[in-house]
């Protein structure tokens, strides 16, 4: 199957995935669509939302549908880096002692890093190499992770007690920062009905690891118009308050803007969004639609913005309208 055929089938594949997930998950169509964009773009997601919104169930269900190994890591204040990546243990064979490396839970295709901001930065950083290089180094040995590899990290609202804000270097590794909101009244009614009775739904596999990698490679080959790339780069550069092209409100309300990785993510995510909608070339509108979740964790607002009740999300929305 060539790249064109893979892309032509992607819209139907998306509908099949949504149909399987809907057997156990009610609503959240927008969030699931954003998950799929990240997944087929080889990106990681940072999820924010209050407890009880089925974040864990959603991600584990997605792993079942895609036939990939899933591990959940509960981040706590006493979690150590070796609890994530693995550790050497002293083993004995035929009277000879030697160190044997026991792989940690990071060795899976989909990782749910639950409440990642509950643990100190030292432990948070244990995921950095895995997220960026798809490798884990232990002692003097480096181990490759199985591909595809995705990290879905959840964090409770940052103002809650006992949390450690993620360092900027860690935040920048996440392609999207997605906020999961409460369900609507009708959705909540359906959730209550579904979860308070026996559910015998069988989740079918739609894709496997090999097919996902083929889709990712095909999306990389999608051509992008020059004006779309120019818009994405201009948008990202306009978030930097020390740049001449930045609007006055950015210089007032932003302390730190997004780096070049944001421009890269905007384009690859726009390609994937177009492909999932059965279009073979992304538009400026694709960039606009995913700009908020790509940029909001990369734009650090100033005290002046906070004093006026403006969040990075609000600043980005205003910037898109300005451009």
Q: Per residue in 54-73, pLDDT tens?
A: 778 888 888 889 888 999 99
The answer to whether position 243 is within a domain reads yes
> Using an 8 Å Cβ cutoff, are 238 and 263 in contact?
no
Q: 301 and 172, same structural domain? A: no
Q: 151 and 269, same structural domain? A: no
b or e along 78-114 (b: 16 or more beta carbons within 10 Å of the residue's beta carbon)? ebebebbbbbeeeeeeeeeeeeebeebbbbbbbbbbb
What range does the domain containing 319 cover?
222-323
Q: 76 and 180, same structural domain? A: yes
The answer to whether position 248 is within a domain reads yes
The answer to whether position 271 is within a domain reads yes
Q: Quick check: 102 pLDDT over 80?
A: yes
Q: Which of 50-54, 101-105, 111-115 has the highest mean pLDDT?
A: 111-115
Distance CA 196, CA 22 (A): 16
Res. 266 pLDDT band, cuts 50 70 90: very high
CATH code for position 316: 1.10.8.80
Distance CA 269, CA 261 (A): 12
* CA-to-CA separations, 175 to 6, 8, 42, 112, in angstroms, rounded: 23, 25, 9, 15
The answer to whether position 296 is within a domain reads yes
Q: 191 and 70, same structural domain? A: yes
Q: 285 and 190, same structural domain? A: no
Q: What is the DSSP letter of 30?
A: H
Q: 185 and 117, same structural domain? A: yes
Res. 157 pLDDT band, cuts 50 70 90: low
> Using an 8 Å Cβ cutoff, are 128 and 171 in contact?
no
Residue 24 structure tokens: 């156990």
Q: 278 and 132, same structural domain? A: no
E strands in the chain: 44-48, 70-74, 86-93, 96-103, 110-114, 135-138, 141-144, 150-155, 174-179, 254-256, 300-301
Give the chain's radius of gyration (CA, Å).
21
Q: Which residue has the tokens 């740049």?
A: 243
Q: Which residues pair with residue 73 across a beta bridge? A: 113
Q: Per residue in 136-152, pLDDT tens?
A: 887 778 888 888 999 99
Q: 256 and 131, same structural domain? A: no
Last residue within a domain, chosen from 179, 196, 213: 196
Q: 188 and 292, same structural domain? A: no
pTM of the prediction?
0.87
The answer to whether position 122 is within a domain reads yes
As a whole number of Å, the end-to-end CA separation of the chain is 40
The answer to whether position 40 is within a domain reads yes
The predicted pLDDT at position 262 comes to: 94
CATH code for position 75: 3.40.50.300
Query: What is the rounded average pLDDT of the residues 115-137?
Result: 84
Helix (H, G, I), strand (E, B) or coil at 183: coil
Query: What is the rounded average pLDDT of the residues 270-291?
Result: 92
Q: 184 and 229, same structural domain? A: no
* Structural domains of the chain, count: 2
Q: 156 and 251, same structural domain? A: no
The answer to whether position 94 is within a domain reads yes
What does the mean pLDDT of the chain come to?
86
CB atoms within 10 A of CB 71: 17
């Amino acid at each position: 199957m060539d790249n064109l055929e893979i892309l032509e089938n992607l819209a139907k594949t998306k509908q099949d995935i949504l149909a399987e997930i809907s057997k156990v998950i009610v609503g959240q169509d927008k969030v699931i669509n954003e998950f799929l964009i990240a997944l087929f773009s080889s990106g990681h997601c940072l999820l924010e939302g209050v407890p009880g919104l089925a974040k864990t169930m959603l991600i584990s269900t997605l792993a079942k549908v895609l036939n990939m190994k899933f591990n959940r890591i509960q981040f706590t204040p006493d979690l150590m880096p070796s609890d994530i990546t693995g550790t050497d243990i002293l083993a004995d064979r035929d009277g000879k002692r030697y160190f044997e490396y026991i792989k940690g839970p990071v060795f899976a295709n989909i990782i749910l890093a639950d409440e990642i901001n509950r643990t100190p930065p030292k432990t948070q950083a244990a995921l950095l190499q895995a997220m960026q290089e798809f490798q884990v180094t232990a002692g003097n040995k480096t181990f490759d992770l199985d591909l595809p590899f995705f990290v879905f990290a959840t964090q409770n609202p940052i103002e809650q007690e006992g949390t450690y804000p993620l360092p900027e270097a860690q935040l920048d590794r996440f392609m999207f920062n997605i906020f999961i909101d409460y369900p609507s009244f009708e959705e909540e009614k359906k959730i209550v009905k579904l979860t308070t009775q026996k559910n015998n739904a069988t989740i079918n596999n739609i894709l496997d690891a090999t097919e996902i990698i083929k889709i990712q490679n095909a999306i990389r080959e999608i051509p992008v118009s020059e004006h779309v790339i120019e818009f994405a780069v201009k948008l990202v550069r306009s978030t930097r308050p020390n740049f001449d092209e930045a609007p006055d409100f950015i210089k007032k309300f932003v302390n730190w803007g997004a780096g070049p990785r944001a421009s890269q993510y905007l384009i690859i995510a726009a390609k994937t969004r177009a492909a999932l909608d059965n279009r073979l070339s992304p538009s400026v509108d694709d960039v606009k639609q995913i700009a908020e979740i790509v940029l909001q964790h990369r734009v650090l607002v100033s005290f002046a913005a906070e004093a006026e009740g403006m969040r990075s999300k609000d600043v980005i929305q205003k910037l898109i309208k300005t451009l």
